[in-house]
Amino acid sequence: MIQVSNLTKSYGAQVLFEDVSFSLNKGERVGLVGRNGHGKTTLFRLILGVETPDSGATSIPKNYRISYLQQHLDFTKATVLEEACLGLPPGQEHDAWRAEKVLAGLGFSSENVNRPAAEFSGGFQVRLNLAKALVSDPDLLLLDEPTNYLDIVSIRWLTRFLRAWKSELMLITHDRSFMDSVTTHTLGIHRRSLRKIQGGTEKLYNQIASEEEIYEKTRVNDEKRRKEVEQFIRRFRAKARLAGMVQSRIKTLEKQRRNDKLERIDTLEFSFRSSPFNAKMLMDARNVSFAYDGQPELFERLNLTVAPGDRICIMGKNGKGKTTLMKVLAGALAVKSGEINTHPALKIGYFEQTNTAGLAPNHTVEQEIMLAEAGCTQQEARNIAGAMMFSGDDALKKISVLSGGEKSRVLLGKLLVSPAHLMLLDEPTNHLDMESCDSLMAAIDSFDGAVVLITHNEMFLHMLATRLVVFDRGKQFVYEGGYQDFLNDVGWESDEENGKSSQKNEVDEESSPAAVTDKKALRKLKAQFVQEKSRVLRPLASRMETLETEIEKLEARVSEVTQALVAASTNGDGAAIAGLAKTQGELERLVNASYNELDEVTQAFEAQSKTFEEKLKTLV
């Protein structure tokens, strides 16, 4: 067991955490969450002893072995396999099969394990470091963003591996579904404190939100009571007969603890700008093939039609052509054969994951955003920079001083300048924290246009995808349906190899032409159903959200006017009373009208949802 007691750590004026304590018990797998820059990696370094706390202590049992996913790439052996074997624990140095098994799970073929590590990309070299950590069989495994550079197949293998982990584990990742699927507890860094619960991230965040809502309501009520007492003291201080009551209230105020207003925590809050589009087709790719000079084809004879409202996710192993396909769709690469037809008025927004090198180091965040669109004003750029968490003077930071995650947010900001009909997003969650990923998913979901997205995040796939472009089994194909349908109907080849195959039909049934035809027709119907449901329900849900926000603002205004009316009545200000009463009446009329409309929209939403539920039963 590890015990952290009264730990404080700061860098200059920035306090990461203050007087925090927690324990890591035997067999616990703990997910560590918190905003970027709030101290997650620093906490790992404190546990490892490579950094020293300002105060407090970390108690680690004698002979307790800790293994940490190294980010630096420094290899000394001749081959990948030999390098991975360096991670094997004492007594197992010659059990190369253990290292081979983990390397295979992380995407290294049997041929590649005998090649030098230097021949591989940086992403595969990081995988090699991960393999060394996994085979070391420590008492505690510390993993900091282990899914970076992993594809969805490797992430699914790592998920199974960590679920079976018997020792202690602490995990940092921006992938909420991955974290929740492997951890037993969640440890959150929030407002310089630590909170540990048994359960997943949603439980922790809901608990924090509930407690902060209660805190804020209590603070507001306390302030209201304090003002009432102060007003009483001012009014009756000079009244001799009330001197005792006044003194009593003064003592009450002195004893009353004043709760500070919770400081605002910056959150990525934005929405993509869409343009009206009345045509039925945005893009139509027919028999598209591509290969780099002298190389085998990455994909061939691929057909894909993109219509308004589509959410198409491209998924599969790394290095198989997903990013290349996205570049072809964006027009950055020319097809080898086939053709791509786009609507003449189509406006595309393209997020390229490797394009941070295209940012000018000497430009500010504000300048880079303005350069994305000729008509972008300085104020518009400032507003977008603020939405990307570069508020105030942070918008004047030079690109050269930004972290990888901050540069990624600049690229997203550049994407927001111009309205688009089609968003092409290549792994936009890299370098974002968990809360920012949630905001991005909401922005994609509410975008009125179409989205084509490359992602390895299974939560995004489950929540967003209406169709899939799949790179698996050595081929590429379009699947007409959502991700869960894909898992049930087709599944990943690697899952079959691991005995984890999703429930597929029998071989004889699969090979029947009639069965294949029926299944294709059913998939098409399901895809049409999902698109129609999204088209009908999304505007209703959006209107409900807008009305709820309007009602909150109106009710807050009613409360302000009511308080002012009470004050005017106390002061006997007749003119103010008349004006405020009129304003109050108008506000209450608007509140009632908004509530009536909200009720109507809610009923319409529920009725349409019920209709779609009945329709879905006929397709299942």
For residue 316, the number of C-alpha atoms closer than 13 Å in the C-beta half-sphere is 23
pLDDT at position 232: 76
pLDDT at position 358: 78
pLDDT in tens, 575-620: 888 888 888 888 888 888 887 888 788 788 778 877 777 776 665 5
Strand ordering across the sheet containing 66-68? 66-68, 140-144, 168-172, 29-33, 185-190, 193-198
- The dotted CATH code for 2-206 is 3.40.50.300
pLDDT at position 1: 81
What gap in Å lies between CA 77 and CA 406, rounded to an integer?
A: 35
Does 3.10.20.310 match the CATH number of domain 283-507? no
Q: How is residue 425 written in tokens?
A: 């997003």
Q: What is the pTM of this model?
A: 0.70
> Do 2-206 and 283-507 fold alike per CATH?
yes
The radius of gyration of the chain's CA atoms, rounded to the nearest angstrom, is 29
Q: CA-CA distances (angstroms) from residue 568 to 24, 184, 230, 268?
A: 58, 57, 17, 41
Instruction: Measure the CA angle with vertex 28, ends 158 and 55; round to 5°.
Output: 110
Q: Which of 156, 195, 224, 180 is nearest to 483 (CA)?
A: 156
* Residues in the chain, pLDDT under 50: 500-517
**Exposure class string for 353-374: b at 16+ Cβ within 10 A, else e:** beebeebeeebbbbbbbbebee
pLDDT at position 511: 39
pLDDT at position 467: 93
Helix orientation angle between 378-387 and 404-415, rounded to the nearest 10 degrees: 130
Query: How is the chain split into domains, by residue range?
Result: 2-206, 283-507, 508-620
Sorted by sequence, the CB contacts under 8 Å of residue 183 that are 6+ apart come out as: 29, 30, 31, 169, 171, 200
pLDDT in tens, 491-546: 888 776 665 443 433 333 343 444 444 555 655 566 566 667 767 777 787 787 78
